[in-house]
Structures are given as C-alpha cells and as structure tokens.
C-alpha cells in the first residue's frame, strides 16, 4: 500500500496536495499553518478568506476539510483541515481526527489528484498525544487505501521523535 512516513518540512514537498493543520477560521496561525501561509504567499490567505463561513468565523468546522490552490508552494493544492483539540480523549477526539484524514482524501479524489502529504494533525498546539494520533492516522489511511492503489500518501513528520512514533504505528498494525 502506498503509505510512507518521512521527515521533512511539508512546504518543500512537490506533491499534488499538502494538508494544512489549520484552525476553523482558516486565516492562518502558528506551526505548520504559519509555515504553509509564509511559503504560499498572501494569495493563500485571500483564497481562504473567500471561502464561505458556516458560522461566524468558521470556514471549516473541526474534522472537515477545504481545498485551495497552493500558490507559491511546490504543491499544487493545499487541503486545509481542522484537527480536534485534545481534551483528554473523551470528547470524540479520535473520531474527529479520523474525519480529518477521510475528508482530506475525499477532496483529493474529487479533484482527481493522486499524491498527498499529511502533517501530524493535532500533535502540536492542539495537544493530541502523538502515539495515539499516529494510530488513528495509520488505521484510517489503511482503511481508505485498502482498495485504492492510485493514491500515494506521505505522513510528513517534522522531528525524529515524531517520525519514529508514526513509523512505529505503521509497523505495529
């Protein structure tokens, strides 16, 4: 199955789509979100601002995904998703994280794209324990890719520790 773990700055990857771990406003932030906006340039913010709000200040509810062009990024598109904030594990965090991966892939398929890189959604500011997040990511992607050889997924980690955690989840299952 075309699913691999790598260590990289996701903004350098030349894939069809990179995934942004955004917040519901889609108007930028820190972490990988900030890095993506910095490299894509100000037109990415304009494109995000143009997306409709489903509630005041909400362009993408938690677990959902939206797509924009990649502008100055090497990636053609950015798929913005909003991971859950970790509140101890009993507030649907796993289900919402699973939805992030599934909805991102649904957008990829709808645009007839094939290569995608995900960061470790929710594992930074949002505080999701990395080993648990990695298990959700791997199980969900395995399920999604079981009958689909056309999609190539990279789990893009930003540190050696995170790479080891995701690699462990990949080898364990």
Tell me the two tokens of residue 82.
């909003």
Give least dist CB 146 to ligand AR6, A: 26
| Smallest distance, ligand AR6 to C-beta of residue 106, A | 19
Is 126 a binder of ligand AR6 (CB under 6 A)? yes
Q: How many residues form the binding site for ligand AR6 (CB under 6 A)? A: 24
Of the candidate residues 19, 32, 40, 73, the single one contacting ligand AR6 (CB under 6 A): 32
Give the other-Cβ count within 10 Å of 97's Cβ. Answer: 27
Give yes or no: 16 in active site.
Answer: no
DSSP letter string, 67-128 = EEE-TTSSSSEEEEE-PPPPSSS-SSHHHHHHHHHHHHHHHHHHTT--EEEE--TTSSTT--
- Report if residue 13 touches ligand AR6, rule: CB under 6 A: no
Q: Does 29 bind ligand AR6 (CB under 6 A)?
A: yes
- Is 63 among the residues that bind ligand AR6 (CB under 6 A)? no
């Amino acid at each position: 199955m075309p699913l691999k773990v790598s260590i990289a700055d996701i903004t350098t990857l030349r894939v069809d789509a990179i995934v942004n771990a955004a917040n519901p406003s889609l108007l930028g932030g820190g972490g990988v979100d900030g890095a993506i906006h910095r490299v894509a340039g100000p037109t990415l913010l304009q494109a995000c601002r143009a997306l409709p709000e489903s509630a005041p200040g909400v362009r993408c509810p938690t677990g959902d995904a939206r797509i924009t062009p990649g502008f100055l990024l090497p990636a053609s598109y950015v798929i913005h998703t909003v991971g859950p904030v970790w509140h101890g594990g009993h507030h649907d965090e796993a289900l919402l994280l699973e939805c992030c991966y599934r909805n991102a892939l649904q957008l990829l398929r709808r645009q007839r794209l094939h290569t995608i890189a995900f960061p470790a959604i929710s594992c930074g500011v949002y505080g999701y324990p990395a080993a648990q997040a990695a298990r959700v990511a791997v199980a969900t992607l395995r399920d999604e890719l079981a009958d689909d050889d056309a999609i190539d997924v990279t789990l893009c980690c930003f540190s050696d520790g995170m790479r080891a955690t995701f690699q462990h989840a990949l080898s364990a299952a």
